[in-house]
């Protein structure tokens, strides 16, 4: 923030004050304007304006510190606004204590004594020594002490400021305006420096993302205004309920419960309406993916049990962008063993009962002869049903086509809106594993394919939860040979329980390992790599993998000692604030540019090919073949990006999918959206028939 606007503002305020004093404006109006200016300047004081001002200012500056991901002005402003709202909420606790004890009406000495007692109590709690593997209760006591001490000190600063204003009252608006302006200017200078330090400490995305202080302040102001407004509406409706039910402790409890229930119902209604609107993308038919495949080894083909229109947007992409034997031979310089099999069960397929989609998947696997392949890969998708094409294409290329893949969609929304769908994904995946186990038991061990499991992000969470109580014993129970989980969320039980890093009795040494990059896996000797049953690829700077409720009150291990790749040295843990930072970073953790593979944040495309080869123990490939595979994956992604964004007119000019390279390239768009699930269409037709 430059000094020129501040100087101009001071001149204007001084002139206005002189104008008021000289009587140019009428006496009553002059007094009202003067009072308004003094009140506004006092309220805006960033240190002593309110009991929460000092804590809010500290939270604002803390939110600008280094974290895991770069941010836009909007995201940085959201982080600042949320931390300021939390600081405001924390500051209300000491104020409530002062009001209830009557200290708020005492002279300054009594108020400071009460705050000093709170600060000393907080300091004693904060001094509780940390222990290895301590409980969250112990860490929570220490964090609560830290927050209580900070709130007490901030309130004391406000009390002193209020006492000074009472003893030395300002007769004009000049002094309050000058003090507030200087305070805001100092904070602006400090904030600008922190933004510069932050940007220099964090790796940048390939897409330019600028963060400006005015944009940050504007967004933070909007966030705090909305948060404060909702809080006032909530307390207002609560007070109205209490007035309706009448006095008494029991009636007050009923009123609070009813009020909370009404707000929860309203929030749930808005959430469901929002995700339903977002989920409409699942029905959209893209011009580049409007033609069903003809190969019987693919779902959606004329021979398939699964109609092409029921596969959803991601499913249609999955069965269209396939790898062909010709492509395998061209990339690897070897003869392909077979044509890869891809089966996909969309969300619109049999959503009425829980086993329906799993039964369809098993029937489709039987139809395509998937159990006759050397490897059977089960994929648990993300919330939208998306599968990382880099992974599946790499697996099919390295397997020389001798692989079958099966995926069941369990949601239609982005992963951050699909956390409630993890249970459904876990249930479907367990049913699929159980059905496959039964079919493989009918075969001799020599005739069984190797059973591989893959999940990324929310898919890694849902699929790993299937064996969350069994660990590696669950692999043996279901017949799983190997698993590759990529970007496993910190909220997943494998992450929170320590199983992901082998800190569990149900995870034998050497059978599970977490890696940040392929060099770490390659450093193991061959025997150790062969012993691995579950490989977890999790970047050190992936906020989705680091996000956990524990971070609210407990310092995470990854911020102690040696920092991992991409974790800034200047990043420090602050109760509440660090959680908000990671939460906002998660919203910007996967900014991708087609064809530009990165190994950063939640983008794992740059690691995928080599991890797929080693984690699944696929047939060996030479360094030259691996390099050609990686280059091919980038080229295929560029072509896929063109098909995704192509409209009706451009569809005929985009590169055709690999499976259609021998056919005409044009793909006419018949309709913008599918009609929806077949069961729903049948129900609507039956209803229309009954009403005629």
**521-537 pLDDT tens trace:** 999 999 999 999 999 99
Same domain, residue pair 446 and 521: yes
CA separation for the pair 387, 364 (Å, rounded): 18
Tell me what pLDDT residue 24 has.
47
Identify the burial level of 461 via C-beta atoms within 10 angstroms of its C-beta, where 0-12 means exposed, 13-18 middle and 19 or more buried.
Answer: buried
234, 261, 293: which is the final residue of a domain? Answer: 234
Show the beta-strand stretches assigned E in 445-489.
450-456, 482-486
Same domain, residue pair 340 and 405: yes
Nearest in space to 602 (alpha carbons), one of 689, 685, 486: 486
Q: How far is CA 416 from CA 82, 235, 271, 583, in A?
A: 18, 29, 12, 11
Q: How far is CA 365 from CA 306, 403, 416, 431, 453, in A?
A: 12, 12, 31, 14, 15
CA separation for the pair 443, 230 (Å, rounded): 62
CA separation for the pair 234, 227 (Å, rounded): 11
Asked if residue 37 belongs to a domain, the reply is yes
For the chain, the distance separating the N- and C-terminal CA atoms, rounded to the nearest angstrom, is 70
CA separation for the pair 340, 344 (Å, rounded): 13
Contact between 370 and 388 under an 8 Å Cβ cutoff? The reply is: no
DSSP-derived 3-state class of residue 354: coil
Same domain, residue pair 480 and 359: yes
Q: How many residues does the chain have?
A: 692
Asked if residue 630 belongs to a domain, the reply is yes
CA separation for the pair 349, 679 (Å, rounded): 8
Q: Domain total for the chain?
A: 2
Question: In what helix (H) or strand (E) does residue 91 lie, and over which residues does it extend?
Answer: helix 73-101
Q: Is beta strand 512-515 parallel, antiparallel or unpaired with respect to 534-537?
A: parallel
Q: What is the DSSP letter of 568?
A: -
Nearest in space to 331 (alpha carbons), one of 5, 628, 33: 628
Asked if residue 145 belongs to a domain, the reply is yes
Tell me what pLDDT residue 661 has.
52
DSSP-derived 3-state class of residue 382: coil
Tell me what pLDDT residue 690 has.
52
Same domain, residue pair 225 and 356: no
Asked if residue 115 belongs to a domain, the reply is yes
Asked if residue 577 belongs to a domain, the reply is no
Q: How far is CA 32 from CA 9, 15, 22, 274, in A?
A: 20, 16, 15, 45
In degrees, rounded to 5, the angle at the alpha carbon of residue 496 between the alpha carbons of residues 558 and 425 is: 130
Q: What is the DSSP letter of 604?
A: -
User: Edge-to-edge strands of the sheet including 534-537?
Assistant: 341-345, 403-408, 375-380, 450-456, 482-486, 534-537, 512-515
Same domain, residue pair 336 and 442: yes
Nearest in space to 455 (alpha carbons), one of 538, 370, 366, 542: 538
Same domain, residue pair 464 and 353: yes
Range of the domain at 52: 3-234
Count of other CB atoms within 10 angstroms of residue 178? 17
Same domain, residue pair 157 and 220: yes
DSSP string across 237-264: HHHHHHHHH-SSHHHHHHHHHHHHHHHH
Same domain, residue pair 201 and 295: no
216, 234, 252: which is the final residue of a domain? Answer: 234
171, 205, 234: which is the final residue of a domain? Answer: 234
Tell me what pLDDT residue 7 has.
47
In terms of phi and psi (left: phi > 0; alpha: psi -120 to 50; beta: otherwise), the region of 286 is: beta
Same domain, residue pair 141 and 31: yes
Asked if residue 157 belongs to a domain, the reply is yes
Q: Give the chain's residues under pLDDT 70.
A: 1-32, 34-35, 37, 351-352, 354, 495-504, 648-692
Tell me what pLDDT residue 125 has.
92
Q: What is the signed CA dihedral for 154, 157, 162, 167, rounded to 10 degrees? A: 170
- Which pTM was predicted? 0.85
Same domain, residue pair 291 and 174: no
Q: Which residues pair with 534 in a beta bridge?
A: 483, 512
Tell me what pLDDT residue 651 has.
53
Same domain, residue pair 371 and 434: yes
Same domain, residue pair 66 and 136: yes
Asked if residue 473 belongs to a domain, the reply is yes
Asked if residue 532 belongs to a domain, the reply is yes
Tell me what pLDDT residue 497 has.
64
Kindly state the tokens that stand for 499: 């199983």
Tell me what pLDDT residue 639 has.
92
CA separation for the pair 210, 388 (Å, rounded): 28
Kindly state the tokens that stand for 104: 């708020």
Quickly list H helices, 442-540: 458-465, 472-478, 493-496, 518-522, 526-531
Nearest in space to 298 (alpha carbons), one of 286, 315, 283: 315
């Amino acid at each position: 923030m430059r000094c020129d606007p501040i100087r101009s503002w001071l001149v204007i305020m001084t002139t206005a004050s002189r104008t008021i004093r000289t009587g140019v404006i009428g006496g009553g109006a002059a007094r009202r304007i003067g009072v308004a200016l003094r009140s506004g300047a006092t309220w805006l004081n960033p240190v002593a304006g309110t009991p929460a001002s000092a804590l809010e200012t500290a939270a604002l500056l803390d939110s600008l510190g280094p974290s895991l991901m770069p941010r836009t002005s909007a995201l940085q402003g959201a982080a600042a606004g949320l931390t300021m709202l939390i600081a405001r909420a924390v500051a209300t606790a000491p104020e409530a204590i002062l009001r209830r004890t009557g200290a708020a009406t005492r002279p300054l000495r009594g108020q400071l004594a009460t705050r000093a007692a709170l600060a000393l109590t907080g300091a004693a709690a904060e001094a509780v020594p940390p222990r290895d593997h301590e409980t969250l209760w112990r860490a929570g006591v220490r964090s609560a002490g830290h927050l209580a001490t900070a709130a007490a000190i901030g309130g004391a600063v406000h009390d002193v400021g209020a006492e000074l204003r009472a003893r030395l009252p300002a007769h004009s608006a000049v002094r309050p305006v000058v003090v507030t302006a200087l305070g805001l200017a100092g904070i602006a200078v400090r904030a600008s420096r922190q933004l510069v330090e932050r940007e220099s400490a964090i790796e940048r995305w390939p897409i330019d993302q600028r963060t400006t202080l005015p944009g940050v302040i504007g967004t933070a102001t909007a966030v705090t205004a909305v948060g404060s407004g909702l809080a006032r509406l909530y307390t207002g409706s609560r007070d109205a309920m209490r007035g309706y039910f009448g006095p008494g402790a029991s009636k007050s409890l009923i009123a609070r419960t009813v009020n909370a229930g009404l707000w929860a119902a309203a929030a749930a209604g808005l959430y469901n309406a929002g995700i339903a609107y977002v989920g409409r993308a699942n029905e959209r038919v893209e011009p580049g993916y409007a033609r069903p495949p003809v190969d019987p080894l693919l779902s959606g083909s004329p021979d398939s049990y699964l109609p092409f229109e029921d596969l959803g947007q991601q499913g249609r992409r999955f069965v269209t962008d396939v790898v062909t034997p010709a492509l395998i031979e061209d990339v690897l310089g070897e003869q392909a063993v077979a044509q890869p099999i891809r089966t996909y069960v969309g969300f619109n397929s049999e959503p009425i009962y829980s086993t329906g989609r799993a039964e369809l998947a098993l029937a489709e696997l039987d139809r395509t002869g998937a159990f006759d392949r050397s490897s059977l890969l089960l994929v648990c998708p993300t919330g939208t049903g998306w599968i990382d094409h880099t992974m599946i294409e790499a697996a099919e290329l390295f397997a020389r086509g001798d692989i079958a893949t099966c995926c069941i969609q369990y949601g239609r929304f982005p992963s951050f809106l699909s956390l409630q769908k993890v249970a459904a994904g876990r249930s479907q995946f367990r049913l699929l594993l159980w059905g496959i186990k039964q079919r493989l038991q009918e075969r001799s061990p020599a005739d069984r394919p190797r059973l591989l499991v893959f999940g990324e992000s929310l898919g890694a969470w849902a699929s790993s939860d299937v064996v969350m109580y069994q660990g590696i014993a669950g692999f043996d129970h279901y017949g799983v040979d190997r698993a590759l989980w990529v970007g496993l969320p910190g909220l997943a039980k494998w992450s929170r329980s320590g199983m992901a890093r082998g800190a569990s009795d149900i995870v034998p040494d050497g059978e599970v390992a977490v890696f940040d990059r392929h060099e770490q896996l390659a450093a193991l000797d061959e025997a150790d790599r062969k012993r691995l049953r579950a490989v977890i690829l999790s970047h050190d700077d992936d906020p989705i993998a680091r996000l956990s409720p524990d971070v609210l009150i407990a310092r995470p291990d990854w911020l102690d000692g040696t920092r991992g790749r991409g974790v800034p040295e200047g990043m420090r843990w602050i109760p509440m604030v660090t959680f908000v930072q990671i939460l906002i970073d998660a919203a910007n953790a996967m900014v991708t540019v087609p064809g530009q593979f990165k190994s950063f944040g939640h983008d794992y495309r740059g690691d995928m090919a080599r991890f797929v080869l080693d984690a699944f123990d696929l047939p060996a490939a030479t360094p030259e073949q691996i390099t050609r595979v990686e280059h091919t994956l980038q080229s295929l992604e560029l072509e896929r990006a063109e098909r995704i964004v192509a409209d009706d007119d451009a569809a005929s000019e985009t590169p055709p999918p690999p499976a259609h390279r021998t056919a005409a390239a044009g793909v006419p768009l018949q309709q913008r959206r599918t009609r929806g699930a077949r069961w729903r269409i049948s129900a609507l037709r039956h209803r229309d028939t009954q009403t005629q």
